[in-house]
Structure 1
């Protein structure tokens, strides 16, 4: 089995971030009714976004990032003024000092114009496996303004007024809980020789991988020993290099949905994002692409509209 490089956006976290996200836009703003096509690259939902009237820039939709951000080089090219901002941590042991651009206008397809504060730091490490650049991140401060419908099969996105989506026949509601600026679902992992283990997992559209487990969660439940045939792997994030073993668990269940034999990264870090003990891990796009879902932060729920257990690989 070959190892995979997990997208750095899967495990980014902003620290000391109080006050960096503005108040939400009025929910009464008119939302264009048409679905918006997106590019699907290495598990990333990529959308064209204009920053203060710039040419379209490539932003990824990232439920694992608490605030929206822009690449520092793209910010300078767009003429944004930046000041000292929040400290950043993520995969790897290091911390980086970010910057901040205040009251930036974002124009994105399918949405009314927004004014937000953006974190600003180099995003070179988020280049997709296909070689495409990433200019910015649409984080939860933007996503939680609407109920966001994502259909990976058709590569389309649609916005709904928050709290307005009603489950019809066949729709399944899954609780989505906010803790400390991050959003989590409860899921269970199953190893071949262990009973199912429940944990709190970040559902992360910014991760191109399937499932990544934190080291404390792995160690507490002896999951690595219960998963033979793993191989060494690494990931690169804003904090540097992260070590992990990569293999396949028996299954992952989210509500009534069971994903068989997901590719799983078992973190081996002693510091950094994947050494945290307050959550079990990250559920990424290689699992999410099996679903058509609505992310409704206002109602603290995820609505699963359709589930495809074994979809073809999505490509742009």
Structure 2
């Protein structure tokens, strides 16, 4: 479900800051390998800032690192050279105030930058941890890609940062290499889509910070419209400047050179939410994580090229949320659980009978609370009576506190007609609901 949530930003800097010429360097090595978490098609990597350890989304669609969700650790980071700035990103809201800090020390694997700019957002509502279910403190993109040849191995979940001066490409007959165009420090490729039997060339942002497969900017004159008006209106995600809504549909075919992917998901975001992104007139949309994960990718900004190789995910099916429910991890709740530490007692008080008694021992623990924060109109969940703010306790007889957020979301992407049974808490009252998933495409 939240596959589509995070189409992270395409940030436009309103006040046009100047950037330092320094960058990342490898320390006593020609390459460094970093394992990542792959959640909702997003790459989560460990990053050290001024000695503090954080988790960042690797987002090829952003120009400078952005920090958020650091309320409890901002004092220890000791940011210097701070000035106020306003940032604009995807969404239908206003610009966001941030602090720009210079001369910070960033470390990613064995790569270090001792003079890194970073933008700090203190607005608590801009926090993507609840949507992913794990701590996420920021996003970083261009500063890594510009200084290295970056290998993204979605199949084995690691990235490798290579020194461009010593990197040697291997012969790969099963690969496709495309020209990479940079515009405002963001990478674009040319691809072909098929709509209503016609092949249409498109220029797409390679957006590793977007969890959907493909976003297209709707344009009747170019033929960038849903096929046969087969679409539904949905919540597409949340950007730096607010929520993004739009149309969800299917696309017959997507091609990059001789690689073809059929029957994929596509979204057409509302024009107001992507107005800044559309200032690059040649841009047709974005290729997001749901598409990118099907390849192992080599990004070479210096050489102006990108190489694709199919991986084990290439033929994965394209699923989407059929329930209409969007969940967030919203705080914690108290859960009563059986204590497995010492459940038995040997009672020898009667000399003639030794008996083993079972003692029901329980403990109370804090577990994540999964709350409904979006509910699609006329969806199966809404028609069944679910409401905003409901906290899910059980799904198909499974206690959700024993599941990760993404595991819960998987239930909502099951096949058409799948029965979903929910036990929820609403204003302290336990209630039960059920509905069947319904495909709209």
Q: TM (normalized to structure 1)?
A: 0.86
User: Equivalences for 1:179-190 in 2 at 5 Å?
Assistant: 179-190=183-194
> Match of 1:250, SS?
strand
Give a deviation string over 1:264-295, Cα, whole Å, max 9, x none: 11122235345546211110111111111111
Q: Would you say the 8 A contact 1:20–1:117 is kept in 2? A: no
Distance, in Å, in 1 between the alignment partners of 2:2 and 2:67 is 29
Segment drifting more, 140-149 vs 113-122? 113-122
2:82 aligned with 1:85, yes or no?
no
Give a deviation string over 1:174-204, Cα, whole Å, max 9, x none: 111112332210111112x141111211001
Q: Relative to structure 1, is the Cα distance of residues 113 and 182 closer, same or farther in structure 2, using a 3 angstrom cutoff? A: closer
Query: Which residue in the other structure is 2:43 paired with?
Result: 45
2:287 aligned with 1:248, yes or no?
no
Query: Which residue in the other structure is 2:225 paired with?
Result: 224
Distance, in Å, in 2 between the alignment partners of 1:180 and 1:69 is 17
Q: Relative to structure 1, is the Cα distance of residues 144 and 274 closer, same or farther in structure 2, using a 3 angstrom cutoff? A: closer
Query: Which residue in the other structure is 2:357 paired with?
Result: none
Q: Relative to structure 1, is the Cα distance of residues 3 and 232 closer, same or farther in structure 2, using a 3 angstrom cutoff? A: farther
Shift of 1:72: 6.2
Shift of 1:20: 4.3
Give a deviation string over 1:187-222, Cα, whole Å, max 9, x none: 11112x14111121100111111101123xx33334
Q: Would you say the 8 A contact 1:124–1:134 is kept in 2? A: no
Query: Which residue in the other structure is 2:297 paired with?
Result: 293
Distance, in Å, in 2 between the alignment partners of 1:28 and 1:133 is 27
> Match of 1:264, SS?
strand
User: Equivalences for 1:97-246 in 2 at 5 Å?
Assistant: 97-121=97-121, 122=123, 124-127=126-129, 129-162=131-164, 164-170=167-173, 171-191=175-195, 193-215=196-218, 218-234=219-235, 235-246=237-248
Distance, in Å, in 2 between the alignment partners of 1:3 and 1:32 is 37
Q: Look at both structures and tell me which one has the larger radius of gyration over its CA atoms.
A: 2
Q: Would you say the 8 A contact 2:49–2:107 is kept in 1? A: yes
Query: Which residue in the other structure is 2:12 paired with?
Result: 14
Q: Which runs of 5+ in 1 are unaligned?
A: none
Distance, in Å, in 2 between the alignment partners of 1:312 and 1:34 is 32
Q: Would you say the 8 A contact 1:42–1:129 is kept in 2? A: no
User: Equivalences for 1:267-282 in 2 at 5 Å?
Assistant: 267-270=269-272, 272-273=275-276, 276=279, 278=281, 279-282=283-286
Q: Would you say the 8 A contact 1:48–1:57 is kept in 2? A: yes
Segment drifting more, 79-88 vs 243-252? 79-88
Q: Relative to structure 1, is the Cα distance of residues 18 and 168 closer, same or farther in structure 2, using a 3 angstrom cutoff? A: farther
Q: Relative to structure 1, is the Cα distance of residues 262 and 30 closer, same or farther in structure 2, using a 3 angstrom cutoff? A: farther
Q: Would you say the 8 A contact 2:11–2:87 is kept in 1? A: no
Query: Which residue in the other structure is 1:68 paired with?
Result: 65
Give a deviation string over 1:33-82, Cα, whole Å, max 9, x none: 4532111111111111111011x101111100111221163572423243
Segment drifting more, 64-73 vs 278-287? 64-73
Distance, in Å, in 2 between the alignment partners of 1:21 and 1:14 is 14
Q: Relative to structure 1, is the Cα distance of residues 128 and 254 closer, same or farther in structure 2, using a 3 angstrom cutoff? A: farther
Q: Relative to structure 1, is the Cα distance of residues 273 and 126 closer, same or farther in structure 2, using a 3 angstrom cutoff? A: farther
Q: Relative to structure 1, is the Cα distance of residues 61 and 134 closer, same or farther in structure 2, using a 3 angstrom cutoff? A: same
> Match of 1:258, SS?
strand
Distance, in Å, in 2 between the alignment partners of 1:312 and 1:32 is 37
Give a deviation string over 1:225-262, Cα, whole Å, max 9, x none: 52443111123222222221101111111222112122
Shift of 1:17: 5.9
Return the match for 2:315 from 302, 310, 316.
310
Bigger RCO (CA 8 Å, 6+ sep): 1
Distance, in Å, in 2 between the alignment partners of 1:289 and 1:114 is 31
Q: Would you say the 8 A contact 2:251–2:263 is kept in 1? A: yes
Q: TM (normalized to structure 2)?
A: 0.63
Q: Relative to structure 1, is the Cα distance of residues 312 and 214 closer, same or farther in structure 2, using a 3 angstrom cutoff? A: closer
Instruction: Please provide the CA RMSD for this pair.
Output: 2.8
Aligned length: 309
Q: Relative to structure 1, is the Cα distance of residues 139 and 225 closer, same or farther in structure 2, using a 3 angstrom cutoff? A: closer
Distance, in Å, in 1 between the alignment partners of 2:304 and 2:96 is 31
Q: Relative to structure 1, is the Cα distance of residues 97 and 91 closer, same or farther in structure 2, using a 3 angstrom cutoff? A: same
Q: Would you say the 8 A contact 1:42–1:208 is kept in 2? A: yes
Q: Would you say the 8 A contact 1:14–1:86 is kept in 2? A: no
